[in-house]
Amino acid sequence: SWGRPVGPLARRGCCSAPGTPEVPLTRERYPVRRLPFSTVSKQDLAAFERIVPGGVVTDPEALQAPNVDWLRTLRGCSKVLLRPRTSEEVSHILRHCHERNLAVNPQGGNTGMVGGSVPVFDEIILSTARMNRVLSFHSVSGILVCQAGCVLEELSRYVEERDFIMPLDLGAKGSCHIGGNVATNAGGLRFLRYGSLHGTVLGLEVLADGTVLDCLTSLRKDNTGYDLKQLFIGSEGTLGIITTVSILCPPKPRAVNVAFLGCPGFAEVLQTFSTCKGMLGEILSAFEFMDAVCMQLVGRHLHLASPVQESPFYVLIETSGSNAGHDAEKLGHFLEHALGSGLVTDGTMATDQRKVKMLWALRERITEALSRDGYVYKYDLSLPVERLYDIVTDLRARLGPHAKHVVGYGHLGDGNLHLNVTAEAFSPSLLAALEPHVYEWTAGQQGSVSAEHGVGFRKRDVLGYSKPPGALQLMQQLKALLDPKGILNPYKTLPSQA
Ligand SMILES: O=C(O)CC[C@@H](O)C(=O)O
Ligand SMILES: [Zn+2]
C-alpha cells in the first residue's frame, strides 16, 4: 500500500523540503513523445471557470504536488487543475476537452505506484477531491453509493458507524479515493476474504466524451447483457472517468484477531498457510508475509520494533468472525499446532484494537520504510505461491552489492508478491540488470507483471509479458471506440508502440 497519511513523505505539501532533490521531468527521463493535443488557451480557462466557478487552479505553486507521483520519481508539467463537485460538471469539462482535443489526467488521492495518476506532459488534471459525498447507504443490504472522490478511510469510518466495513483496505486509505481505487482495481489487505472489486462493485457512473454512462445499479444479480461496468474497473481512467460508485459492504465482524509469527524458512511460510486454511478456514481474513530485511527496514526507518524473535520470515494472520471466544479458541489451537510442529518459531496474538493496529503497521508501512531507504524499483507480481520467493533469492545473487536492499513481502494468500529493490539513486545499469529479467522470469511462471497496482505509465510497455497480442489488440480497439481522440489519460495502460 502506499501514500500512508503518516510521516512527512506522505504529507508531502506543495514544495519539497529544503535539500530534497527535484523530481526529474518524466519527459526528460523516459523516451516519450507528446501526442498532438491542443494546449490550454485563455478561452479554455474562461470556459472552465464558467463550468466550475472557483474550481480552476493555475497557481504554479499549487500545481507542483499534483504533478508529482507519490514515489517522487515522475513529474508532469500540467498548468491547470480542475476541481469539479458534480458529475454534471465533469460531463461539461469532458465535452469541452473532447471538442477542443485537450488531454485529461484524472486524479484521485495520487497515491498510485505506477504513475497512472500524474500527467506525463501538460494534460489537464481533473481532480476528484471535491466529489466527496456519500449519496446513500442501505443498512440491510450494506450497499453504499458515493461520489468518486470519497477518501477510503472516511468511507470506512462512515460504514463502520453503521456496523459494516469497506470490502477493501490498503495502507494508503488515509489519502486514496474510492474512484481511484476502482479505476486501478486496487487489491489490498482484505482481498483474500472479500475478493476483487470486480465482485464488490455493483455499479458505476462513468463519463468519457461527456456522455454519462449510467451503470449505477445496486443489484446483486444482473444478467441483462454485457456487464459494461467491468470494463472500467482497472481501466485507469483511459476509457472513461468514474464519477460515482455503488459498492457492497460486508457486515462488520464482531471479533478480529491478529497473530504475528516468525517462520524459519519460506517452505514453513507455505505450510503455515496450508495449515491455516485447513484449521481457520471460514474465519481467515488475511494472510500476509514479509521477510527479515523488511523487518530491519521498518525498524531502521520507522522505529517500529519487532514483536517476535528475529526470524527469516514473518507472517501476519488475521481472523474475522462473529464469535470472539470461538475464534480465539480456534486461533489458539492453530498456534499450538504451528509452534509444536516447528512451522513457527515465535508468535504473538492481539485482540485489542491498539495492538491489532500496531501489528498491522509492521506490514502496512513497509512501503514507507522502503521509500526512506533510497530510490525504489517496484515489482507487483502474481506468481504461483510455491515459486513466489524464488525471484527474491535469485535477484539478491544477481545484483550483489549493486542493490542496497532486495525485499519480498506481500499478500501471500492471494499469490501476490511485492518485490522491491532499493539503491542510493536511480541507475540505468541497475535497471538493466532488473528488466526485462524480472518480467521474463514472471512470464516463465505464467504470472502477472501487474497484480494489483495497475499499469499506469511505468508498466505499459510490459503488458505483453502477461497478455497475448490478440488481447492487447482488442484493448486498443476498445480504447479507440470509447475514447476516439485518445484524450483520456494518454500515455498510460496500453503499450506505446501501437
Ligand atoms: O510498495 C509496494 O510495493 C506495495 C504496496 C502495497 O500494495 C502493499 O501491499 O503494501
Ligand atoms: Zn499490496
In the chain, residues under CATH classification 3.30.70.2740 are 374-482
Residue of minimum CA distance from atom 1 in ligand 1: 367
User: Which string of b and e fits 323-358 if b means at least 16 CB within 10 Å?
Assistant: eeeebbebbeebbebbeeeebbbbbebbeeeeebeb
CATH of 134-248, one of 3.90.330.10, 3.30.70.20, 1.10.510.10, 3.30.465.10: 3.30.465.10
Site residues for ligand 1, CB cut-off 6 Å: 1-2, 113, 171, 366-367, 378, 380, 410, 418, 420
* Ligand 1 atom index nearest CA of 410: 9
- Give the three-state DSSP class for 248: strand
Q: Whose CA is nearest to atom 5 of ligand 1?
A: 1
**Residue 210's pLDDT is what?**
77
With a CB cutoff of 8 Å and minimum separation 6, the contacts of 69 are 75, 110, 112, 115, 117, 118
Give the pLDDT score at 25: 97
Residue 4 is predicted with a pLDDT of: 40
Between CA 190 and CA 195 the distance in angstroms is: 7
- Assigned CATH topology for domain 7-127: 3.30.43
Cβ 168 vs Cβ 194: under 8 Å: yes
Specify the residue with its C-alpha closest to ligand 1, atom 3: 418
CA dist 448 → 269, 439, 478 (Å): 22, 9, 21
Q: Are 259 and 356 in contact (CB under 8 A)?
A: no
CA-based torsion, 436, 441, 443, 448: positive or negative: negative
Q: Give the residue, by CA position, lying nearest to ligand 1 atom 8.
A: 1
DSSP states along 57-116? E--HHHHHHHHB-TTS--B-----EE---SHHHHHHHHHHHHHHT--EEEESS---SSS-
Cα 475 to chain centroid distance, Å, stands at: 21
Q: Distances from the Cα of 157 to the Cαs of 62, 165, 175, 250, 437, in angstroms?
A: 29, 8, 14, 14, 43
Could you name the CATH architecture of 255-366?
2-Layer Sandwich (3.30)
Task: Give me the CATH code for the 374-482 domain, please.
Answer: 3.30.70.2740
Cell numbers for 435, please give them.
Answer: 528488466
Distance CA 68, CA 111 (A): 10
Q: Which residue has the cell 535469485?
A: 394
The Å distance, Cα 494 to ligand 2 centre, comes to: 22
| CA 241, chain centre distance (Å) | 17
Nearest CA to ligand 1 atom 10: 1
**Integer Cα distance of 136 and 435 in angstroms:** 46
pLDDT value at residue 14:
38
What local confidence, expressed as pLDDT, does residue 3 receive? 37
State whether the Cα torsion 107-109-110-112 is positive or negative.
negative
Q: Which three cell numbers stand for residue 161?
A: 458507524
CA-closest candidate to residue 191, choices 445, 412, 350, 408: 412
Residue nearest to atom 6 of ligand 1 (CA): 1
What amino acid occupies position 254?
R
d(Cα 270, Cα 239) in Å, to the nearest integer? 39
Q: Distances from the Cα of 405 to the Cαs of 225, 393, 454, in angstroms? A: 50, 12, 24
> What is the atom index within ligand 1 of the atom nearest the CA of 416?
9
Taking the CA of residue 172 as reference, the ligand 1 atom at the shortest distance is 6
Q: How far apart are CA 464 and CA 460, in angstroms?
A: 9
| Interval 251-301: pLDDT, tens | 999 999 999 999 999 999 999 999 999 999 899 999 999 999 999 999 999
Instruction: Report the separation in Å between the CA atom of 438 and the middle of ligand 1, taken as the mean of its atom positions.
Output: 17
Residue 84 CA to its chain's centroid (Å): 24
Instruction: State yes or no: cis peptide before 436, omega within 30 of 0.
Output: yes
Q: In the chain, which residues fall in CATH 3.30.465.10?
A: 134-248
Closest ligand 1 atom number to CA of residue 411: 9
Could you give the CA distance from residue 259 to residue 125 in angstroms, rounded to a whole number?
43
List the 405-411 sheet strands across, edge first.
Answer: 346-350, 255-263, 313-321, 284-291, 405-411, 416-423, 375-382
Quote the pLDDT of residue 7. Answer: 37
Spacing, Cα 356 to ligand 2 middle (Å): 19
420 forms beta bridges with: 378, 407
Residues of the chain with CATH 3.30.43.10: 7-127
217 CB-contact burial (10 Å; exposed 0-12 / middle 13-18 / buried 19+): middle
Task: Give the model confidence (pLDDT) of 161-171 as tens digits.
Answer: 999 999 999 99
Which atom of ligand 1 is nearest the CA belonging to 380?
Answer: 3
The pick from 418, 450, 458 for probing ligand 1's pocket by mutation, whose C-beta has the most ligand atoms within 8 angstroms, reads 418
Domain with CATH 3.30.70.2190 in the chain: 255-366
Dihedral angle computed from the Cα positions of residues 233, 234, 236 and 237, in that order, rounded to the nearest 10 degrees:
-20
CB 215 within 8 A of CB 202: no
Grid cell at residue 190:
482484505
pLDDT (0 to 100) of residue 13: 36
Say if CB 252 and CB 164 are below 8 A apart: yes
Q: Which residues contact 306 (CB under 8 A, 6 or more apart)?
A: 295, 299, 314, 362
All 3 cell numbers of residue 240?
Answer: 472513461
Can you list the residues of the chain whose pLDDT is less than 50? Answer: 1-16, 498
Q: Which atom of ligand 1 is nearest to the CA of 189?
A: 9
C-alpha–C-alpha distance, residues 143 and 467, integer Å: 34
